[in-house]
Amino acid sequence: MIKNYLKIAWRNILNNKVYSAINILGLAAGMAVALIIGLWVINEFSYDKFLPNYKQLYQVQLHFTTQREEHTQAALAIPLADVLRKEVLGIKYVAETDWVGWQYHDLLVGTKKLYLGGGAAHPDFLKIFQYPFVKGSAKDAFKDPYSIILDEATAKALFGNADPINKFIRLDNKQNLKVTGVIKDIPKNATRQFSFLTPFSFKEQTEGWMKNARTTWTNNSFNMYVELQPGVTAEQIAPKIKNIVYQHSVQMRPAKPEVILHAMKDWHLYSDFKMGKPVGGFIDYVRMFCIIGILVLLIACINFMNLSTARSEKRAREVGVRKAIGSQRKDLIIQFLAESILITFIAFLFSIVFVQLALPSFNTVIGSSIAIPFANPLFWIGMLLYVLLTGLLAGSRPAFYLSSFNPVQVLKGSVKIGKAASLPRKVLVVLQFSCSIALIISTVIVYQQIQYAKNRPTGYSAERLMMTDMSGDLETNYGALKNELMSSGVVESVASASSPVTNIYSHMSLDKWPGKAADEEAVNVGAISVSDNYFKTLGMTLKEGHDFSAKWSDDTTSVILNEAAVKRIGLKNPINQLVMWNGSKGPVRIIGVVKDALMESPFTPVAPAIFNHGRGGNNIMYRLSPNVNTQDAIKKINKIFDTYNPAYPFIYQFVDDEYNHKFNLEVLVGKLAGVFAGLAIFISCLGLFGLAAYVAEQRTKEIGIRKVLGASISQVWLLLSKDFILLVIISCVIASPVALYFLQSWLQKYEYRITIGPGVFMLSGLVAIMITLITISFQAIKAALTNPVKSLRSE
């Protein structure tokens, strides 16, 4: 029985090659989009689930309130780990770490030197995160404080094919560490990425500032992870840990700190918090593209429905004859659904080819390594269901509509089938074009928002400005390095600072200032320690007062505020006013006010910042001289850095590149939305092309008569085009308010954002109308140019 259905379905497909090809191509494009998005979504939800106990793993975080604003941070004080470990029942393991993966260190073996992300972790870290060891074991890896474990890639880069166990690595050109373990390379779908780990005890023994860290509740400089006992839930632990910091830290009490747990399953997708609970993050974009994938597939299915019902007049006689000889309606429904599923299956095969060809480019855009899991049986089971559901969705209306014809009326020719299907068909065309136009509008708005933020004045000049981490011997040799860079002729200015140009690492509180009310809260400010020439090197402008200078190199009593800080504390004449902040031992004098510079998010207002004078720092900034060749300059600079920091590789960043990284997510969304909007329009126009061909075919004799009576080509073109143009205009009217609603909601997450004007809707509508005209004009002009004698010959 099934074989007979498929035979008839195949024959019908071959008898209608043009319409079948349009259906197959449209469905293949829609299915390819949905499949790519599906694979991407599955990949996003797979993060961290390679660990066997991921459901019981949590990161400890701190929720508090300052200046009537909520904050949730991962930075914690070490004493919290000891309390969790000793006093809270239900917690199996606790591991304190530094910023593993975020901090870069130099690994030196002979002449091989690597600058990689890693960090220090408590031994229980290896019990919580059960990374498989290929050499050594988690049990013995951290017994010696002067030990290190590597991932396979790092071990191979440093030791080649030799066994690295018990060999030594020089870390940051200061300490020799013995390799005690090698773990498998961490999968790309892991939130925490690192290349090496050292014991936390090594950090405590070798870094002087760590001396009192284990007893100080205000040194929030560390991360913390826990594994709960089997069967214990976060809800059971939450009340036990909530007030630990509040109880132990008097200094933190005004901020009402609450200790919370962030589940590992939520790390990748949920990074935004409200009232101490994860409420959003990258999951918002995952949901958005899920909706886009469904819409594109729906558009493709609508094409199939429209073309199938449009050709119903030709299929009506088939239905009438088959009913007359005894076929039941259910048999006809099965027949039409079989035809739909067969077309969908063929489209699916093409979609697999399309996806395979598109995935390399898609992976490049999103920075992933998604692949079709051909060897996974579950994938093929899922694809079988995917084909069946898509086939049933696409073929449902044609099957039930065509099988409902009365055989007597059809065979008498008394049923005007085309008109009966006209209204639903127009509704579906409006629906698919509404979706497509909404995607076009979204693409334009995303692009405008990105450009709006990119064009925002930064307050400094990023042109030819470079940065290098202050690693190894650079701090000791900074003066000599600076002098040689300046004398090289390729650098015009050099400075150092505790934060890079595009970020602020440290935030402190501005506690006292003239005119501060007794009950007024302290102000949270970005704190940057800078060398002389800092503002000159960055191209920042002093609004009033004066800069730091070399003759004041030991001056710790002077600061410079930015405009935002002055405005926030309400100083009318800030120069020479005294303020106190928790980075100073006593009052400090404001010697200057610098114009606001955009150092953090380009989508938010510039935050208050305070600059103090210091010799050291975490970063060196240097601006290339004008008119020097960039590559030649980098080669010269490389040699100079190698002279003063021989144990470290020369790593640099251009400030404009680092600034552009802040737009990566928005650019990704814009690119993907643009591609999917283009495919949605393509699929819609493919269906429109088929409908235009059908309408021209149905009205061949009418067109012939009109031409005999003197109608011009333009009049015939207008005759066939006006109905479709009207449908697209209606689609624009529907799509515009829907897109406006969702886009305004999306823009609310940005404090610095565009205002949506009417121009984008008119432009998107005009683009849709132009594409529609181009699509249907081929069929319309072809019909208009047909010889009327030929079309009327049978009459």
What are the structure tokens assigned to 268, written together? 């990748």
pLDDT at 37 over 80: yes
The encoded tokens of residue 554 equal 């030991």
State in Å, rounded, how far the first CA of the chain is from the last one.
43
Highest mean pLDDT among 61-75, 186-200, 410-424, 774-788: 186-200
Cα angle, residue 770 at apex, residues 767 and 774 outer, rounded to 5°: 140
Measure the CA–CA gap between 489 and 639, rounded to whole angstroms: 14
Maximum Cα interatomic distance, the chain, rounded to a whole number of Å:
106
pLDDT in tens, 199-227: 999 999 999 888 888 989 988 889 999 99
Distance in angstroms (rounded) separating the CA atoms of residues 346 and 55: 41
pLDDT tops 60 at residue 1: no
Residues 685/775, Cβ–Cβ less than 8 Å: yes
Mean per-residue pLDDT, 224-243: 95
Q: Which residue has the tokens 């529609």?
A: 772
Structure tokens belonging to residue 477: 């040799």
CA 220, CA 201: separation in Å to the nearest integer?
Answer: 18
Amino acid letter, 447: Y
pLDDT at 324 (0 to 100)? 60
Average of per-residue pLDDT values in the chain:
86
Pick from 78, 74, 39: nearest CA to 264: 74
Nearest to 275 by CA among 244, 221, 238: 238
Q: How confident is the model at residue 727 (pLDDT cuts 50, 70, 90)?
A: confident
In this predicted model, which residue has the larger pLDDT, 707 or 612? 612
Q: 413: alpha, beta or left, given left = phi > 0 and alpha = psi -120 to 50? A: left
Cβ of 658: how many Cβ atoms within 10 Å? 17
> How high is the pLDDT of residue 614?
80
What single-letter amino acid sits at 478? Y
696 Cβ contact list (under 8 Å, min separation 6): 703, 720, 779, 780, 782, 783
pLDDT of residue 18: 66
Of 591, 578, 590, 579, which is closest to residue 547 (Cα–Cα)? Answer: 591
pLDDT at 161: 92
Cβ burial, residue 442 (10 Å; 0-12/13-18/19+):
buried
| Residues present in the chain in total | 795
14: confidence class by pLDDT, cuts 50, 70, 90: low
Is residue 418 within 8 A of residue 312, CB to CB? The reply is: yes
State yes or no: pLDDT of 139 exceeds 60: yes
Residues 677-687: pLDDT tens digits? Answer: 888 888 888 87
| pLDDT of amino acid 555 | 65
pLDDT at residue 414, as a whole number: 47
CA-closest candidate to residue 32, choices 308, 383, 303 = 383
Q: What is the pLDDT of residue 594?
A: 95
- Is residue 59 within 8 A of residue 48, CB to CB? The reply is no
Higher pLDDT, 69 or 348: 348
For residue 369, the one-letter residue type is S
Backbone angles phi, psi at 793, to 5 degrees: -55, -40
Side chain identity at 376, as an amino acid letter?
Answer: N
> Which of 398, 248, 405, 390 is closest to 316 using CA atoms?
405
222 DSSP β-pair partners: 76
Task: Decide: helix, strand or coil at residue 646.
Answer: coil
- Measured between alpha carbons, how far is 166 from 181 in angstroms, rounded to an integer? 9
Higher pLDDT, 719 or 324: 719
Q: Which helix (H) or strand (E) holds 363?
A: helix 329-366
The DSSP line for 528-581 is EEE-TTHHHHHT--EEEE----GGGTT--SEEEEEHHHHHHHT-SS-TT-EEEE
- Whether the Cβ atoms of residue 78 and residue 214 lie closer than 8 Å to each other: yes
Q: Is the pLDDT of residue 376 over 80?
A: yes
Helix (H, G, I), strand (E, B) or coil at 755: coil
DSSP-H helix ranges across 107-212: 125-128, 152-159, 200-206
pLDDT at 123 over 80: yes
Paired residues of 59 in beta bridges: 225, 262
- pLDDT at position 19, please? 67
Backbone torsions φ then ψ of 612, nearest 5 degrees = -120, 160
- The answer to whether the CB of 302 falls within 8 A of the CB of 294 is no
Nearest to 754, CA basis, from 762, 765, 743: 743
Q: Angle 307-311-312 (CA atoms, 0-180°, nearest 5)?
A: 120
Round to whole Å and give the CA distance between 202 and 754. Answer: 50
| pLDDT (0 to 100) of residue 313 | 56
pLDDT higher than threshold 90 for residue 354: yes
Computed from CA positions of residues 40, 42, 44, 46, in that sequence, does the dihedral angle turn out positive or negative? negative
Nearest-angstrom CA–CA distance, 726 and 218 = 67
Report the DSSP beta bridge partners of residue 104: 117
- Tokens for 1? 């029985």
- Name residue, tokens 């994860």: 278
* DSSP at 625: P
Q: What is the dihedral of CA 174, 180, 182, 183, to 10 degrees?
A: -100
User: What pLDDT sits at residue 784?
Assistant: 65
**Cα–Cα distance measured from residue 394 to residue 344, given in angstroms and rounded to the nearest whole number:** 8
Q: What is the pLDDT of residues 413-472, one digit of tens each?
A: 545 554 555 677 788 888 888 988 998 998 899 889 989 988 999 999 999 999 999 988
256, 43 contact by CB (below 8 A): no
pLDDT digits (tens, 9 = 90+) for 507-525: 888 888 998 887 777 788 8
Lowest mean pLDDT among 23-27, 74-78, 186-190, 711-715: 711-715
DSSP codes, 316-353: HHHHHHHHHTT--HHHHHHHHHHHHHHHHHHHHHHHHH
Spatial contact of 614 and 530, defined as CB atoms under 8 Å apart: yes
Dihedral angle computed from the Cα positions of residues 675, 680, 682 and 683, in that order, rounded to the nearest 10 degrees: 140
Predicted local distance difference test score (pLDDT) of residue 246: 92
Picking from 518, 65, 74, the residue whose alpha carbon sits closest to that of residue 255 is: 65
Mean pLDDT over 599-614 rounds to 90
Q: What amino acid occupies position 275?
A: M
For position 510, what pLDDT does the model report?
86
Measured CA to CA, the distance from residue 430 to residue 688 in angstroms comes to: 11
| Residue tagged 């309606």 (tokens) | 329
Q: Give the residue from 566, 617, 567 showing the smallest Cα distance to 592.
A: 566
**DSSP letter string, 689-701:** HHHHHHHHHHTHH
Q: Mean pLDDT across the stretch 373-390?
A: 90
Give the integer Cα–Cα distance in Å for 451 and 667.
10
Q: What are phi and psi of 14, to 5 degrees?
A: -70, -30
Query: How many C-beta atoms lie closer than 10 Å to residue 649's C-beta?
Result: 16
Give the mean pLDDT of 73-77.
92
- Kindly tell me if the per-residue pLDDT of 786 is higher than 70: no
Mapping DSSP onto H, E and C, the string for 261-325 reads EEEHHHCCCCCEEECCEEEECCHHHHHHHHHHHHHHHHHHHHHHHHHHHHCHHHHHHHHHHHHHC
DSSP string, 37-88: HHHHHHHHHTTTTTSTTGGGEEEEEEEEEETTEEEEES-B-THHHHHHHHH-
Give the integer Cα–Cα distance in Å for 228 and 235: 11
Mean pLDDT, range 660-689, rounded to an integer: 85
pLDDT value of position 540: 95
